[in-house]
Amino acid sequence: MNKINIYQKIIVAYFAATCVLWMYLLLTDHKSGNLNYYYSFFFGLTPLIGGLIGMFKASIWGGLKSALGKAVFFVSFGLVLWGLGETVWSYYNFFRDVPAPYPSLADIGFAPSIFFWILGTAFLSIATGAMFALKKSHWAKVFVILAPLVLLVPSYYLQVHVARSGVLIPDGETTLKAILDIAYPFGDFLALTFAAVVYALSYRYFGGLYRKAVTFILAGLAVMYAADSIFSYSTTRGTYYNGDWGDLLLSLGLFLLTFGILGFATKPSIAASKTTQGNIQ
């Protein structure tokens, strides 16, 4: 992926435009109103449209008949679900005048998206040879055990001790919100851990041609982990508003995920196809 394709160029331009809107909100100190709602709606289109393109283009790699096709399809499907969740969120904003509909029907889209990102990275581990490396390397087995533990400690500290003052369900908070506050960052944590393992154990897939795409997917999951943690913290503290710093991180994480998956939206060269034919079955 030395050159970005047309889909990636469009998504870069669109993300830049949303960043301009976010900067305007910051400089004018906008924290409520339709302009903030528009920002939430606009950045939600990135995963929705990009995910639809990714699902369609998964057929290039064999669709649901190959490991790589499944990886592209399921990560893309997760993006679509997130985008649909954001669309429902915007419905509450514009038509019911609810600034932060959480928990709400929007979570029906948000919550399962993480599962499909994990499922996609699982198939990516097969397609890139990570599972083979795990079977052959003692170091790989140690890494798989240590990586989750290293990531789990700061996650627990941020979500329980910092955001919730050591109390899982603070006074005045619903049980459902408390569950979602923990579930979202923890789900991102699992997806990030899985993706990190896949990345570390993968061989030079396509001679490194699509390694950058996998890198962007990994980076996107890392940012989503941080963004969901901030969202849980700000909604617990009552400081959240549409277009805050947490929303900027969400838009960045979704952009990186979408940009990465769209790296698989164009056909590989004939040489690359011959070299890696066995890897994508």
What CATH number has the domain bearing residue 62? Answer: 1.20.1070
Contact assessment for residue 181 and residue 232, using Cβ atoms and an 8 Å cutoff = yes
Dihedral sign from CA coordinates of 190, 122, 125, 52: negative
CA separation for the pair 65, 76 (Å, rounded): 16
**Identity at 98, one-letter amino acid code:** V
Instruction: Give, as one character, the DSSP assignment of residue 47.
Output: H
Least confident of 30-39, 45-54, 99-108, 220-229: 220-229
Q: Which domain holds residue 119?
A: 6-280
- CA-based nearest residue to 227, from 24, 54, 47: 47
Q: Kindly state whether residue 123 falls inside one of the protein's structural domains.
A: yes
The predicted structure's pLDDT at residue 276: 46
Domain count, the chain: 1
* Gap between the Cα atoms of 208 and 269, Å rounded: 13
Identify which of 62, 63, 90, 61 has the alpha carbon closest to the alpha carbon of residue 77: 63
CA distance 202 to 126: 9
Query: Which residue, chain included where needed, has tokens 């599962």?
Result: 115
Write down the pTM of the prediction.
0.85
In a domain, 1, yes or no: no
Residue 225 domain flag: yes
Query: pLDDT tens for residues 56-99?
Result: 999 999 999 998 899 999 999 999 999 999 999 999 999 999 99
Helices (H) and strands (E) in the chain — how many of each? 10, 0
pLDDT at 140: 60
Helix %, strand %, coil % for the chain, to 5? 80, 0, 20
